[in-house]
Amino acid sequence: MLIVPSSSSLKLAKSVAEISGSTLSDVERKRFPDGEMYVRILSETLNMDVAVLGNTRTDSDILEMLLLLNAAREGGAKRVIAVIPYFGYARQHMRYKDGEPVSSRVITQALDNSSDEIICVEIHDEQTLSFSSKPFRNLSAERSMTDHFMNHVPDYVLSPDDGGYDRAKKLAESIGTRAAYIFKKRIDPKTVEMKLPDIDFSGRTILLVDDIISTGGTIIKAIKLLRQAGASRISVAAVHGVFARDSDRIISSEVDELAVCDTIDGPYSTISIAGTIAGSLER
């Protein structure tokens, strides 16, 4: 297996290659004077199984992935796998207003053109999986989360809303503790009311867990509620740390620990998903 890293996932690609015993390709990258992107896979791809690993978080990330996948295909690869740790644009998996595109379908169909299979990690909405004509696997980060928190088990694993309760419950069961969720009610387009469950959080250790932290507004409100309720230690974890508007700086200043998976590289990406991805490539 040849691992070809996108610039969005260099560290993770290296870890996946080391764990799986695969070859990590070098990639030449540059920008032309007019701003156009150039990429070149520097390893031989003829008759190889090739996994191109990178995110679709930004417009530039998407273009780089498509160019690398096409380069592998044009280079005669036997099989091309698009490995996308963080599948950006997955929140636009349906048309909410007239005139909008279904963004995740557009990206999925573009990926289909040069890949034989797509692998992602905890995509925001599984509706996107149905947009592909190729095998599309959605990996769970549960094992990685469990390994990280097994040695410092909180009194409660808490989801910031009922939609994420299943994730919190599975993690709680894996590490041997209890789960609950915060009640969230939208009052109007700009106002959300949050209420803690009927639990005595005084002196308790809490792990708040979510799939994605972007602006962090919901998480920050949850932290404030738990502090007011007397929680002694609060940790925050997520699969994908997008951290828009420097929300990681704000959140980290309010909690005892902030940890996210390394699907997106960053200072708080301390939960490794590399083993899970490596295992999926061996199938």
Q: Which of 14, 169, 170, 184 is catalytic?
A: 184
184 catalytically annotated: yes
Reduce the DSSP state of residue 222 to 3 states and report it: helix
Q: List % helix, strand, coil for the chain (3-state, nearest 5).
A: 35, 30, 35
Q: What is the DSSP letter of 216?
A: -
Q: Are 53 and 16 in contact (CB under 8 A)?
A: yes
Q: Measuring CA to CA, how many Å separate 229 from each of 45, 157, 257?
A: 57, 16, 18
In Å, how far from its chain's centre is CA 21?
Answer: 23
Cα–Cα distance between 38 and 45 in angstroms, integer? 18
Catalytic residues: 184
